[in-house]
Structure 1
Amino acid sequence: MHIFINQCKIEFLRMFRNPYYIFWSLLMPIVFYIIFTKVVNTGAADQGVWNAHFLMSVAAFSVMGSAIMTLGIRMVQERSEGWTNFIKVTPLSGTVYFAAKMLGQTVVHVFSIVVIFVAGVLLNGVTLTAYEWIMSGLWILLGSLPFLGLGVLVGTMKRVDTAAGVSNLIYMGLAITGGMWMPMEVLPKVIQNIGAWLPAFNYGNGAWEIIRGQAPEFRNIAILAAYLILFMVISTYIRRKQEAV
């Protein structure tokens, strides 16, 4: 337990000292929030509802990107530098190493959610009930698990530049097809049909439902759970093949 706690502390410090994380997970989503709620005229019938809706979108966008890119790229970098091989000859087990990474990433996600929610209140005066704040935050946190699984899958790649390129492509593709930047209703029908089966839309839709006084749809939960299992099964299979070589 002492080793696990120390490793968690190390992961926290590494992530908060990373300017890449600060830009992609905090600065860029807040900039998008300002642009799409204060600069661009979206023609929303109720600006207050749109401000709350898009706040959930950028919070989900932030956490999704952190899970896919920050975690995955860092894992590839550590393996390419021989760090994971070095760990094998230390008292730090592989289980503790990955558990600390996952917990560290989760704590970072909590921090991101709080910062973005506060930004929504300060910039646009977003008002939700305590229940809606807490439940939407918990949904965004727990719903990020499939994207952590996707980050672990990206982490099985051999080259950092490949992982960075692929994760960026996946991240932006999911954001567009998931309605993170604009409502799904205004997107082409083909994108709506595809996005409905992808994890990003089901992730965002859960939060959108909560702030409208509803519960996340069962379909949202089932699709996210299916993607989590799929990503973890594939990444486990690839990692075992890599270790067997």
Structure 2
Amino acid sequence: MNALVRLEITRALRNKKYLFFTVLYPAVLFLLLGGTIDGSVKVSGTELGMPAFYMVAMASFGALTAVLMGNSERIAKERESGWVRQLRLTALPGRGYVLAKTAGAAVLSLPAILVVFAVAATVKGVRFEAWQWFALTGAIWAGSLVFAVLGVAIGYLASGDTARPVTMLVYFGLSMLGGLWMPTTNFPQWLQTIAGWLPTHAYAGLGQAIELGGAPRAGDVAVLAVYFVLFTGAAAWLYRKDSMKA
């Protein structure tokens, strides 16, 4: 399994387009969305400054891009090319393949987080205590595992031709409705209620709670844990279903 993880990371690092959209693009979006807002402007109903809000939002968005976009389309194409079938002939168990895909994507999500943090600190002067920086990195990275498993599930659900549009629909829908593009406090009440049940809303909430000096809310952690179980179950079921076709 370790060899497959190394292979996944090496392949991703050779893909310049992938690296741009996962590592640099979130930082560019931060500058476009949060870089023009004064630090004294607060998120409605909170003491959280808008640059800090967008820092966490875009770091989360970058990690989501790395694990979701990277896994889904690649797995779908590997299924159609016969690569997954060849791996089943080796000693690698099915769970090893799924874990390798998840672990490889998770490793690549870390640079996306750190680049956004570096840009926010140098360009907008975002400042936190040392423990908050470490906690933010750990929380956003750990939370991205939920979407890494979702990417695996989509990769087994969609074909090579439909994987990208399906992933893009899920990707932008969750990002916008979950509050990664703008605070959900700006939404109408009915949409805020829907957003509160989305994994991306809970995901962004992890970092926002730490920025305000506290621990992640138990409700956000519980929502992400439930989605992780659901997505893992879906990925496992779809993998077994795909295996029976081979």
Cα 1:41–1:133 change in 2 (3 A) is closer
The question of whether the paired residues in 2 share the 8 Å contact of 1:185 and 1:192 is answered with yes
1:221 aligns with 2:218: no
Paired positions, count: 242
Aligned partner of 1:22 in structure 2 is: 19
The TM-score, its normalising length taken from structure 1, stands at 0.91
Which residue number in structure 1 is paired with residue 81 of structure 2? 81
Q: TM-score, normalised by structure 2?
A: 0.90
CA distance in 2, matches of 1:173, 1:115: 24
- Specify the alignment match of 1:138 in structure 2: 138
Find the aligned partners of 1:213 and 1:166 in 2 and give their Cα distance.
37
In the aligned structure 2, how far is the partner of 1:97 from the partner of 1:156? Answer: 12
Report the residue type matching 1:128 in the other structure.
F
The runs of 4+ residues in structure 1 deviating greater than 6 Å are: 40-43
What are the Cα deviations for residues 203-245 of structure 1, in whole angstroms up to 9, with x where unaligned? Answer: 0011001011011111101111111111111221222122223
Q: Check the 8 A contact 1:80/1:158 in 2, yes or no.
A: no
Look up the match of 1:233.
Answer: 233
Rounded Cα–Cα distance in structure 2 between residues aligned with 1:18 and 1:214: 38
Partner of 1:10: 7
Q: Which of these residues, 27, 34, 37, is aligned with residue 34 of structure 2?
A: 37
Separation of aligned partners in 2, 1:189 and 1:77: 40
Give the fraction of aligned pairs with identical amino acids, expressed as a percent. Answer: 31
- RMSD of equivalent CA atoms: 2.1
**How far is the alpha carbon of 1:38 from its aligned partner?**
3.0
Report the Cα offset of residue 39 of structure 1: 3.7
* Matched-pair contact (CA < 8 Å) for 2:202–2:220: yes
Q: What does the per-residue CA deviation read over 1:35-88, in whole Å, with 9 as the maximum and x for residues that have no partner?
A: 112346899249992212210000001111222211111111111111011122
Question: What is the alpha-carbon distance in structure 2 between the residues aligned to residue 161 and residue 42 of structure 1?
Answer: 44
Counterpart CA distance in 2 for 1:237 and 1:171 is 22
Partner residue of 2:99?
Answer: 99
Q: Structure 1: state its 5+ residue gaps.
A: none
Between 193-202 and 66-75, the greater mean CA deviation after superposition: 66-75
Moved more, 132-141 or 187-196: 187-196
1:157 alignment counterpart: 157
Residues in 1 aligned to 2:84 and 2:35: alpha-carbon distance in whole angstroms: 46
Point out the more displaced range, 99-108 or 136-145.
99-108
Gapped regions of structure 2 (runs ≥ 5): none
